Structure 1
C-alpha cells in the first residue's frame, strides 16, 4: 500500500526497527516489495539479513532426451535499479544519513562524518545524490508559484562578492528569487547574466499566468511599465505592478534572500550552487516532519538515473 502522506520526524525515523524501516521504504516506492523469479516466474522470497530476493523452488528442465529436476538459483538484491542501488553502504545507514542530511545545518560534512562514521568520499557522494533529488523535485513544472489574483514579489541577490575588494577571487553568482504573498511558495533561479530577456524567461518558467509581479530590479531589467508594454504576450499573462517604493513592497523577497545567504556555505563551488538553491526551496516548502516523506517519494522517481555510487 503506497503512502499518500505521513508525518515522521528525524528521531522517530531513527527509532524504527529494521523491519519497520524496510516496510516504510516499500510504502514510498524506494525499494520493491515483491519480485518475480526470472527463471520459474514465481514470487521470490525476501530475505531481511541481506535485503535480497531468492528462489529455491525445484523445477523440471530438459537435458538432452531426459527431464531433470533442478533447484532454482535466482538471487537479486532488492536495491538493484533503485535510488539505493550501486552502494556499498547498508540500507539502514543510507536511510539514516538522508534523515540527518535533511535536518542538519551547514557545514554538514564534518557533522555527518562525526555522527555516521562515513568517510569524506561517502559523505560527499550521498550529499550530491540528495541535492540531485532536490533539483529533480524543484524542476517539476507543477512547482510554479502565483496564479490568478495572487501577488509575487521578485528580487535579486549577488553571491560571492568580495568585501572592500579584498581577499581571494570568488565565483560570483546572481540569483533571482520570488515569493508568493500569504504563502510559503518560493522560487530561486541561478542566472548567468542580467537583462530583460533573462527576467522574462525566469518568470515565465516559474510564475503562473494571471499573477501580479512586483520587482525591485528596474535598474537592470527595466521598469515594470516598460516590461509590460514591450512583451505583454510573451510574459504569459503576467502583470507588472508599478510601485513607488519597490524596496518596501518586496521586503518579503529580500528577507528570503538574506536567509539564503546564511544558508549557502561560503566556500561553495559554482557548479554546486543550483543544488543549494533547490535544497533551500525544498526545506521551505515543507515542515520538518513532512520532508522525509516527500524526499523519499521524489527519490523513488529519480531511481538509478543519478548514476553509479561507489561508496
Structure 2
C-alpha cells in the first residue's frame, strides 16, 4: 500500500466537507503532496524567495551590491506559484482543482454535475477531464512489474466490444493482455495496438511478460501456442487446458479463475455509457487506477502521481531551484509562528 499523509484518508463526501471553498486548506493539501513548491530559491541571488499572498507569486526582494556603481540594487525576480506544475496556467481556484479531482476519482463521474456544482464551463470541464486522464494514462504506461520467486501469476488475453447488429458504440477489436497475482491481487493490464491471432503472437506477448512479470514467478496460462516458450525465460509455467476443464482435476492450483473474473469486471465497465472506442485507453487507465487504489488512498496517490509527472521545477530558462518537501507531513505555512511567509489561495 502506498505511503500517505497523516489525516489524508477521506472518502468522497469527507473531501467535499473538508475543502469546499477553502483555498488555504486546499493549497496546504497540494503542497503536502508535492504538487506545489514549499520553497523557491532565486536563481540570481541564491536566497529564499518569499510568498506573496496577494500576487500568488514567489518574490525575491534581496538587495545586492553593484560594485562599479557603489550602490545596492534590489532583485526583482518573481515566479508564479503554479509555474510548471499540474496547475500551470489554470484560472481555477485551488479548492476547485481539489474538488474536481475528487469527483473525477469517484465511480460515478458526470460532466454536468461538475459544471453546475463548480460553476465552470463545459469546455473547462472537458479540458480538466483530459488533464486528469493524462495522469492515469501515465500510470498505465508505467506500471510496475508483479510477481517474483514462487508467486503465482495468472495471465490471459481477451478482446471485447463487438457491435450489436451494427448499431450503437463500435468497440470491436479492443484487445487486452493482463496478469494478476493470485494472492495479493496485484495486476497489470496492457491495451494492444494490433489484434492477436491464434497463429501468432509470441513475438508480441513474450516481451510483455518479461516486462511486467518478475523472473522466478509461477505463470499459469491456457495452452495457447504463444505461451509455449514461457519456461525458457526464467519462469515456471503451468498450463490449464480450456477445452477439457476450468480447474485441473489433478492439481486444483492450476486455474485462471482470477484473471477470468478480472475480464468480467473490465467488460462490464466497457459497456457503461460514454466509453467510446477512441477513448478506451483513457477509460481503461482510469478504471485500473480506481481498481488499484481503494477509496482511502486514491486522492493521495493521484496527487503524488501528478507531482511526479509535473514536478514544480519552474522556469528552465532561469533555472529556478524549487524545493519539494521531503515528507508529506508539513506544518501549515500559513501559521503566523512560521518565520517564512505562508502561501494562500489564488489563481496563477
User: Shift in Å at residue 247 of structure 1?
Assistant: 7.4
SS of 1:189's equivalent in the other structure is strand
User: Shift in Å at residue 299 of structure 1?
Assistant: 0.8
**Which deviations, in whole Å up to 9, do the C-alpha atoms of 1:3-44 show, x marking residues without a partner?**
952342134434144333322222221111011234433221
Determine the C-alpha separation between the residues in 2 that align with 1:132 and 1:156: 25
User: Shift in Å at residue 238 of structure 1?
Assistant: 4.6
Q: Does 1:205 align with 2:211?
A: yes
**Which deviations, in whole Å up to 9, do the C-alpha atoms of 1:113-154 show, x marking residues without a partner?**
23322222222222222222112223335x222222222223
Quote the residue 1:91 is aligned against. Answer: 94
User: Shift in Å at residue 296 of structure 1?
Assistant: 1.0
Q: Does 1:170 align with 2:162?
A: no
Quote the residue 1:242 is aligned against. Answer: 240
Determine the C-alpha separation between the residues in 1 that align with 2:288 and 2:52: 38
Quote the residue 1:232 is aligned against. Answer: 231
**Which deviations, in whole Å up to 9, do the C-alpha atoms of 1:165-210 show, x marking residues without a partner?**
3315714211223221122312111112213323323322222222
Quote the residue 2:57 is aligned against. Answer: 52
Determine the C-alpha separation between the residues in 2 that align with 1:184 and 1:48: 46
Gap regions ≥5 residues in structure 1 = 306-310
Quote the residue 1:257 is aligned against. Answer: 263
User: Shift in Å at residue 80 of structure 1?
Assistant: 0.3
Quote the residue 2:82 is aligned against. Answer: 79
Question: Which of 254, 258, 278 is equivalent to 2:285?
Answer: 278
SS of 1:86's equivalent in the other structure is coil
Distance 1:4 1:183, change over 3 A: closer
User: Shift in Å at residue 79 of structure 1?
Assistant: 0.8
User: Shift in Å at residue 110 of structure 1?
Assistant: 2.8
Q: What TM-score, normalized by structure 2, do the two folds share? A: 0.73
Determine the C-alpha separation between the residues in 2 that align with 1:169 and 1:278: 19
**Which deviations, in whole Å up to 9, do the C-alpha atoms of 1:88-133 show, x marking residues without a partner?**
3233311221122112424x32333233222222222222222221
Determine the C-alpha separation between the residues in 1 that align with 2:179 and 2:51: 47
Distance 1:270 1:67, change over 3 A: farther
User: Shift in Å at residue 70 of structure 1?
Assistant: 4.3
Q: Which has the higher helix share?
A: 1
Count how many residue pairs are aligned between Structure 1 and Structure 2.
291
Determine the C-alpha separation between the residues in 2 that align with 1:13 and 1:50: 27
Quote the residue 1:186 is aligned against. Answer: 187
Quote the residue 1:105 is aligned against. Answer: 108
Which deviates further from its counterpart, 248-257 or 290-299? 248-257
